[in-house]
Amino acid sequence: MAKVFLKTYGCQMNERDSEQVAQMLVAHGYEMTPDETAADVILLNTCSVRDMAEQKALGKMGMLGRLRSERPHLVFGFLGCMAQSRGAELVRDLPQVDLVVGTQKFHKVADYVDELLGRRIAAANGMDDLRAPIVDTGEEEGSQGTIRDHVLKPRQASAFVSIMQGCNMHCAFCIVPSTRGAERSRPIGEIVAEVEGLAARGIKEVTLLGQIVNLYGRHEFPRVGGKSPFVQLLEAVHAVEGIERIRFTSPHPVGFRDDLVACYRDLPKLAEHVHLPVQSGSDRILKAMRRPYSADRYRRLVDALRAAQPDIALTTDIIVGFPGETDADHAETCRLAEEIGFDNAFVFRYSQRRDTPAADLGDQLPESVKESRNQDVLRIVERTATRRMQALVGRSVEILCEGPSKTNPNRLSGRTRTNKIAVFEGSDRHIGEIFEVQVERATPWTLYATAAVLA
């Protein structure tokens, strides 16, 4: 049985895509392995949002290419966003690469691997080694419905569910519309059937995924009773027996209308956490970024969410060092971060991405300025995160136990409804269960709790 090593870079969408690829490879008779040196097939599912993610994948493939001298039968492939963006140039620049598959063709990976390994077998039997690489980055109608199967681990209790692909927002800094294509949504009934199947297999929490997840279905499906297709979907998933928690990521501020805000008041299964990317606190920079809201509109949205659900946790994305950003613009971002008091934030230094409008703007800032501003915002976020985490010390919080802690395998970890990580003592029987623990101490990013007790 041939073995496949699959490494994923980037977001939850990429993780979900990789899960689908793994499921199809297993269905074709392959064995997945975490050991790249034992693999017959090495696949890297890539990200293009930042240059660093691309460089990591390219560096990894360059390093792995050395294995070919010892194991000439190896198949190497790039999947996903960077594969979509760069296409055949990956084969040109890295001759060991046999396979390049874009974001709308994940469902064909197993067939292509079959073909490439078949060529290797033919070569081993003395036939010509047909080394012509396979590059498939074309569009495919209905591709949004191909990410629907799950490989679940024992006692797994949470799962990602892809509800749409693509993005029509065209923010100036973002390459996603060119790597993922236009918005395309799956029917509500199809998604609910997938969630029902997951619940029947023991899943208690689902996270709905989309590039702009709260704009789901806006072009395909009508509003009903004043409710957007996304709110209709949330209500339908909420009704699935066995599902106890619902999350979604990543949304856009413009997709939060009154009906969606009200869900945080009216749907008990909807977890009290929203990831709400702001990107900048400067109206001037938001306009340059092509983000169609102002800083004050963002503040009003936060107020509305906190009014609907006082316990809600807010996390965000912030980009520092966008072309033309001045000290005054940066100060506005810092002021907004202080005022909102985020529970956490992903703070990024602006990275030029080809095929994006911002890449050609003048007044690109030096890396030293970006790094300084990055540290400014990180310090603010750490202070506010510390306050919010310390407020939980001595309190009881509900967690869903996910398994061993990544930093200490002798302890377990889980997530609160507000998406905070809690580490505690427990045993295998706690994995996959929902229960309460008492918080004893906290760092800005982790809660440490008493030993788990199940009723």
Of the given ranges (14-23, 38-47, 122-131, 221-230), which has the lowest mean pLDDT?
Answer: 122-131
Instruction: Give domain status of residue 455, yes or no.
Output: no
**The pLDDT of residue 266 is above 80:** yes
In angstroms, rounded to a whole number, what is the distance separating the alpha carbons of residues 201 and 178? 36
Residue 207 and residue 289 in one domain: yes
pLDDT at 32: 96
The pLDDT-based confidence of 124 (bands split at 50, 70, 90) is low
Rounded Cα distance between 67 and 75, Å, is 10
**Three-state secondary-structure class, residue 279:** strand
Q: Is residue 369 assigned to a domain? A: yes
Task: Give the per-residue pLDDT at 225.
Answer: 95
Q: Three-class SS of residue 399?
A: strand
Pairing state between β 3-8 and 31-32:
parallel
Structure confidence at residue 129 (pLDDT)? 53
Does residue 334 lie within any of the structural domains? yes
148 shares its domain with 68: no
Per-residue pLDDT at 73: 86
Q: How confident is the model at residue 226 (pLDDT cuts 50, 70, 90)?
A: very high
- Smallest CA-to-CA distance from 344 within 384, 303, 311, 312 is with 384
Mean pLDDT, residues 262-269 taken together: 98
Last residue of a domain, one of 375, 390, 405: 390
Whole-number pLDDT of residue 49? 87
User: To the nearest whole percent, how much of the chain has pLDDT over 70?
Assistant: 97
113 belongs to a structural domain: yes
SS3 57: helix
Count of domains observed in the chain: 3
* Residue that finishes a domain, picked among 110, 136, 162: 136
Identify whether residues 119 and 207 lie together within a single domain.
no
pLDDT at 455 over 80: no
Q: Are residues 294 and 204 in the same domain?
A: yes
CATH code of 96's domain = 3.40.50.12160
pLDDT confidence tier of residue 105, bands split at 50, 70 and 90: very high
Structure confidence by residue, pLDDT tens digits, 156-179: 999 999 999 999 999 999 999 999
Helix (H) or strand (E) holding 438: strand 434-442
Q: Which residue has the higher pLDDT, 454 or 20?
A: 20
Q: 52 pLDDT band (50/70/90 cuts)?
A: confident
Q: The CATH number of the domain where 413 resides is what? A: 2.40.50.140
* Across 43-67, average pLDDT: 92
In which region does residue 396 sit, left (phi positive, over 0), alpha (psi from -120 to 50) or beta (all else)?
beta
| Residues 419, 348 within the same domain | no
CA-CA distance, 396 to 450, in Å (whole number)?
A: 10
Using the predicted structure, report yes or no on whether residue 128 has a pLDDT greater than 70: no
pLDDT higher than 80, residue 131: no
Question: What mean pLDDT comes out for the span 32-48?
Answer: 95
pLDDT per position as a tens digit, 72-88: 889 999 999 999 999 99
Tens of pLDDT, residue by residue over 231-253, are 999 999 999 999 999 999 999 99
Within a domain: residue 454? no
- Residue 130 pLDDT greater than 70, yes or no: no
Strands 421-424 and 412-416, sheet pairing: antiparallel
What per-residue confidence (pLDDT) applies to 126?
A: 59
Of 136, 155, 171, the one marking the end of a domain is 136
Segments in 160-257 forming alpha helices (H):
176-180, 188-200, 229-238
Statement to judge: residues 165 and 231 lie in one domain:
yes
Q: Which domain holds residue 261?
A: 143-390
If you count them, how many residues does the chain have? 455
Position 118 scores a pLDDT of 87
- Which residues, in sequence order, are CB contacts of 354 under 8 Å at separation 6+? 85, 175
Question: 201 and 150: one domain?
Answer: yes
Q: pTM of the predicted model, to two decimals? A: 0.94
Q: Are residues 350 and 401 in the same domain?
A: no
Task: Report yes or no on 55 lying in a domain.
Answer: yes
Same domain (yes/no): 330, 366: yes
Domain for residue 288, yes or no?
yes
Give the mean model confidence (pLDDT) for residues 423-432: 94
pLDDT tens track for 363-412: 999 999 999 999 999 999 999 999 999 999 999 999 999 999 998 889 99
Between 351 and 121, residue with greater pLDDT: 351
Q: Which residue has the higher pLDDT, 73 or 295?
A: 295
Q: Name the DSSP letter for residue 387.
A: H
**CA pair distance 369, 355, nearest whole angstrom:** 24
- Stretch 129-140: mean pLDDT: 84
- Are 235 and 381 in a shared domain? yes
DSSP string, 198-226: HHHTT--EEEEE-TTGGGTTTTTS--BTT
Determine contact, residues 278/298, Cβ cutoff 8 Å.
yes
Is the pLDDT at 454 greater than 90? The verdict is no
Please compute the mean of the pLDDT values over residues 206-228 and round it to a whole number: 97
Average pLDDT of the chain to the nearest whole number: 94
Residues 174 and 28 in one domain: no
**pLDDT, average across residues 92-96:** 92
CATH code where residue 232 lies? 3.80.30.20
Over range 273-287, report the average pLDDT: 98
- The reply to whether 115 and 170 lie within a common domain is no
